[in-house]
Amino acid sequence: MPPPRRAHRVATRVLSLAMVAIGLVLVALTLSRGGGPLAVGVVVGILFVAAGGARLYLQARTPGG
């Protein structure tokens, strides 16, 4: 079993990538169904991508991250 800190880093990375993927899917589905750039799905999707990307960025900047 991996040490708790390593398991936490891996889980954070996996969930962050999942957030980015969900955000991209939200944007793609909203635009494919005729939504405009300010549609709720596009805005929420962009926020998901930003949050997931920010988590990945901050984890990469952290020593041992």
C-alpha to C-alpha distances, 11 to 1, 7, 21, 23, 55, nearest whole angstrom: 14, 6, 15, 18, 12
pLDDT score of 64 more than 80: no
Tens digit of each residue's pLDDT (9 = 90 or more) over 8-60: 999 999 999 999 999 999 999 999 999 999 999 999 999 999 999 999 999 99
**Predicted pLDDT of residue 41:** 97
Secondary structure of 15-56 in the HEC alphabet? HHHHHHHHHHHHHHHHHHCCCCCCCHHHHHHHHHHHHHHHHH
Helix (H, G, I), strand (E, B) or coil at 1: coil
**Predicted pLDDT of residue 62:** 86
Higher pLDDT among residues 23 and 65, named by residue: 23
Residue spans of the domains in the chain: they are 11-61
Dist CA 29 CA 26 (whole Å): 5
Higher pLDDT among residues 62 and 42, named by residue: 42
